[in-house]
Structure 1
C-alpha cells in the first residue's frame, strides 16, 4: 500500500505559493492507497473527486515527514523539557544541546525546519480548502474532506503558536507575488482561527470510520485538539465540555499501558489521532518515517540513532512501583517485554520505549521502525484534561474520578502502588494532576509546553538556563525574517 505524497513547489517554505503538484511515493494504510503517477500541473488538477481524494491524502502523507516527526519536532517540542536529554554520542548532533540549555539562536536549522514543516502542512490544507469546493462530487464526502483539512490546519497552527507565539496566519494559497509577504498575526488571532477551524471540523467529521479509512481525522480528534487549545487559553468550561463529549464517544483505555505503543495496538480504542506510518515490502522509498529510527537504541541492528533519550530526572520522577516508568524507558541491560536484550554498555543509559519497534522486525535497507505510528492524542490525555478542568471549576468529585481512571489502568490491579488521590484541596489536586500528566504522557511532546502554560518555567527549567520573558517561545527563524524583508519580526530576547 502507498500514499502519493503531493509536494508543492514554493518560493519560501513559510509563505510559499503552490504552483505544481509533483507526485512522489510515500507509505500508508489502505485509505491512502492511490496509484503512482507522474507530475501533474495544478491547471489540470483539482477537477475531479479523485483529485480531491488525492489532495486530502497528501495532507496525511506529509504529517510523517522529517520536519513533523524527527529532529525538528524533537528539538522544538521535547528537548527543552526536563524529560529528555540529547542522547547518541557526545559529538553527534551537538546542536540539540542548544535547545536543551536554551542557548539557541534564530539561525539554527531545526528552528526553520519545524516552521517550514508546519507551513507545508498548512499549504497542503489550503490547497484543498481553496480548490475542492468547486469540484462536482458527492457533497457529504466533499464536506468531510474539507473538515479533515481544517483539522490538520488547526493542528499545525497549534504547534506553531505554542512554539513561536505570534505567527503569520495564512488561510488561502497566495495567487501572486504581492501576497507572499505578510506579518505575524497576534496570538489571539491565531487561536481564534484554530478554534474556528475546529468548530467547523467537529460539526462534520464522523465519530468513526470503516476499516478502509481508519486513521483519518474524527470528531473525537477535533474535539480533543479543541480541548487542548482551550486548556492553553484557560477556558476551563470549554475544556470540560469538549472532554465530556469525547468521553461519551466510545473511547477506552487499554488494560496494559506498555502495549498502547506497540504495533499490534495502533489505532486502538485508546487512540484518538495517530500519524499513520507503514513498512511497505519491496519499496523502501515509500517506507519513509524516521520517527522511531532517530530515537531507537543505538548500536544494535534494528535499533536506531539514539537521540531524544529519557532523562535521569524523568526516571526519578515516577512514584515507587509505577509500571509506566519501565513502559516509557528502555534501560541499558534490560530485556524488553518483546524479548530484546539491551547491552549492559552503550552510549546512553536509557532510550525512549514509546518509539520502540522490536529489533526482529527490522528489514535491511529500510528505516528502523518505519512501521511505527506516532501517537498524537490518546484518551488518557482527555481524562487528565477533564480532571484539570473539573478541578479548576470546583467539581472535585469529577476531577478525582477522571484522574482515578488513569491511575487505575496504570496500577494494573496492583493495589499496593499508585493509591487513589483523595485530596479535595484545589491546589493539592492541581499539583497531583500535573504530576500525573508527566507520568502518563512522558516523551509525547507535551511536558515542555505543559510546564510553561502552568507558569512554572523558571521553577522547573531554570536550572537548565530557561529565562522568563524570553524562553516562553522559541526564536522565529532568521531566514523567514530575511525573506519577508523585516515584515516578520523576532521574538524578544533573541
Structure 2
C-alpha cells in the first residue's frame, strides 16, 4: 500500500485528509492511506503533495479575482454566473453561483489546509532538524491558505487538526479575527523551526517572516511588521534586481527576488495559452494568445517614470473590443518572459520587494518618514529617489507608498487588501454602486449546501 500511495500521492492525500478536504466532507476510506502505515521517511513526500495542492486549478490563487475587483486591472471579459465572470468582478458584484473562480480558490485552500493538518499531526513533536523543517513548512502552508481565505471571505470554517467527524467538519465559520489569530500562531511557531532560504519553491524562515509581516501590517501591528520585514532584508538571502525587471518572473530565474512561489507544470504544448498568460496578455498575434479583454489601469500605467524598469511589463496595444489602445500587463506573458520550451510557470506568493515596502509603510504608520527602504527599491528599478523633506508629513509619505505598491505589485493579488488598509475600498465600492458588504466575497451556493451551518456573508 505504501508503494501505491507514492504513485497516487496527491489523490490519496486529498482523500485521506478529511479535516479540510475538497468539500469539507467525509474521507473515502477505501482510498485512504492509514496514518499508522506511514513513517518519517514518507513525510517529505506527503509535504510535496501539500505543495502541489496549493495551486488548485486555474485561476491560480485569487490574482484575477481580487485584482479585477480592485482599481489595478480592468476586464471586459464575460462569462456566466456559474463560472468566473470578470465583468461581475469589475462591477464588484461577484456571484455565489461562481464555482469556477471562488469555488476553485476555496477548494484549493482547504485541500492544502487538510494536507497540512495531516502532516502537522503526523510529525507531532519533531525529534530531528529535518522533521522540524518539514513541520515548519506545513505550518506556513496552512497559515498562507487561511490568510488567503480570510482576505477573500473574512471569517471561515477553522479546523487546525485532522478531523473525521462530519459534525465537527460541518460547523459555523470562525470570525476573521479568530482565523487571523491562528495564522499568526502558526507563523510564530514556524519561524524557529525553519532554516534559511534555499529555494523559492519551498517555505523558508524568510517566507514565514515576510508572510507574518504582511499579516501584521494589515492588522495594524506596525512595530512587529517592521521588525519582521527588516529581518527578511537583513538576512541577505534575497536581494533586489537592478537593471531589469521582467526576468524576475521566469521559471528558474537568475534573479534573486522570489521569496516563495508556486510552480505549475509541465504545461501542455499550448504553453503560451495557459492560465494567467492568456488572461492578462493581449490577443493574437502576440504570443500570450489571450482574449485581449483584460488590461491595466491607464493612470497606473502612466505613473511609471520613463526609465523605470517596471515599464518592461507594460505593452500598449489596440483592444479589438473597444477599438482603442490599452495597457496590457505582461508579468506572466511569454511575450516578454520565456519561450514555449520552458514548460513550467510560476505564480509569485512573496517577493523581497514587499519587505522593503512593508518596512517603509510600517514606519510611516508610526509617524516616521524614513525614505531609506523606499529609495533602495526605487533605485533598483531605475526610478528617481526622494528626500524625506519631499513629504510634508507621514500621511503624505503613506500616499506615495500606496502608489509605489501599485507600481511594484500589480497583478500579484495584493491591491484589494491595500485598498482596504489605505481606506480606499469603501469609496471605490460606492463608485460601483455597492456598499461595505462587498468588502468580502460570497461563499458559493455549492459550499452552503455542503455545510448547512456555514452562514453566507452579509449582502449576498
- TM-score range, shorter-chain basis? 0.7 to 0.9
Does the CA contact (< 8 Å) of 1:295 and 1:304 recur in 2?
no
- Which residue in 2 is equivalent to 1:457? 425
- Which residue in 2 is equivalent to 1:234? 220
- Which residue in 2 is equivalent to 1:6? 10
SS of corresponding position for 2:412? coil
- State the Cα distance separating 1:261 from its structure 2 match: 3.0
SS of corresponding position for 1:462? helix
- State the Cα distance separating 1:409 from its structure 2 match: 1.5
Structure 2 CA distance, aligned partners of 1:327 and 1:269?
18
- Which residue in 1 is equivalent to 2:155? 166
- Which residue in 2 is equivalent to 1:224? 210
Name which of 290, 306, 327 aligns with 2:312: 327
Name which of 90, 93, 97 aligns with 1:107: 97
Name which of 319, 325, 333 aligns with 1:356: 333
Return 5+ residue gaps in structure 2 as ranges: 1-5
Does the CA contact (< 8 Å) of 2:272 and 2:287 recur in 1?
no
1:451-491 Cα offsets, whole Å, 9 max, x none, are 01222113344323342x21111112222222222x11111
Distance 1:147 1:46, change over 3 A: farther
Distance 1:215 1:104, change over 3 A: closer
Distance 1:12 1:44, change over 3 A: closer
1:115-134 Cα offsets, whole Å, 9 max, x none, are 11211111111121122338
Name which of 245, 248, 256 aligns with 2:243: 256
1:3-48 Cα offsets, whole Å, 9 max, x none, are 9761313697341344469xxxxxxxxxxxxxxxxxx741277512
- Which residue in 2 is equivalent to 1:337? none
Structure 2 CA distance, aligned partners of 1:3 and 1:238?
43
Q: Which moved more, 1:2-11 or 1:189-198?
A: 2-11
- Which residue in 2 is equivalent to 1:32? none
- Which residue in 2 is equivalent to 1:489? 455
Structure 2 CA distance, aligned partners of 1:91 and 1:181?
29
Name which of 391, 408, 420 aligns with 1:423: 391
- State the Cα distance separating 1:76 from its structure 2 match: 3.0
* RMSD value, Cα: 3.5
Question: Which ranges of 4 or more aligned residues in structure 1 deviate by more than 6 Å?
Answer: 89-94, 283-289, 345-348
SS of corresponding position for 1:234? coil
- State the Cα distance separating 1:269 from its structure 2 match: 2.1
TM-score normalised per structure 1: 0.80
Does the CA contact (< 8 Å) of 2:68 and 2:89 recur in 1?
yes
Structure 2 CA distance, aligned partners of 1:162 and 1:53?
29
1:345-368 Cα offsets, whole Å, 9 max, x none, are 9998343211112487226xxxxx
Does the CA contact (< 8 Å) of 1:4 and 1:61 recur in 2?
no
Structure 2 CA distance, aligned partners of 1:409 and 1:253?
6
Name which of 172, 188, 199 aligns with 1:183: 172
Distance 1:273 1:111, change over 3 A: same
Structure 2 matches for 1:92-491, cutoff 5 A? Answer: 95-109=85-99, 110-133=101-124, 139-209=128-198, 215-250=201-236, 251-263=238-250, 266=253, 268-279=255-266, 290-300=275-285, 302-306=287-291, 309-321=294-306, 323-324=308-309, 326-332=311-317, 349-358=326-335, 361-362=339-340, 370-396=343-369, 399-411=370-382, 417=384, 419-420=386-387, 422-467=390-435, 469-485=436-452, 487-491=453-457
Structure 1 CA distance, aligned partners of 2:298 and 2:160?
41
TM-score normalised per structure 2: 0.85
Does the CA contact (< 8 Å) of 2:55 and 2:262 recur in 1?
yes
- State the Cα distance separating 1:62 from its structure 2 match: 1.9
Name which of 16, 37, 40 aligns with 2:25: 16
- State the Cα distance separating 1:389 from its structure 2 match: 0.6
- State the Cα distance separating 1:194 from its structure 2 match: 0.3
1:78-119 Cα offsets, whole Å, 9 max, x none, are 120111122558999782111110222322222222211211
Count the aligned residue pairs.
444
Distance 1:305 1:420, change over 3 A: same
Q: Which moved more, 1:354-363 or 1:437-446?
A: 354-363
1:39-80 Cα offsets, whole Å, 9 max, x none, are x7412775123421111001111223325616xx24432120
- State the Cα distance separating 1:287 from its structure 2 match: 12
- Which residue in 1 is equivalent to 2:3? none
- State the Cα distance separating 1:408 from its structure 2 match: 1.2
- State the Cα distance separating 1:401 from its structure 2 match: 0.7
Structure 2 CA distance, aligned partners of 1:43 and 1:60?
21
Distance 1:187 1:306, change over 3 A: same
Structure 2 CA distance, aligned partners of 1:178 and 1:326?
53
Structure 2 CA distance, aligned partners of 1:299 and 1:5?
38
Q: Which moved more, 1:176-185 or 1:317-326?
A: 317-326
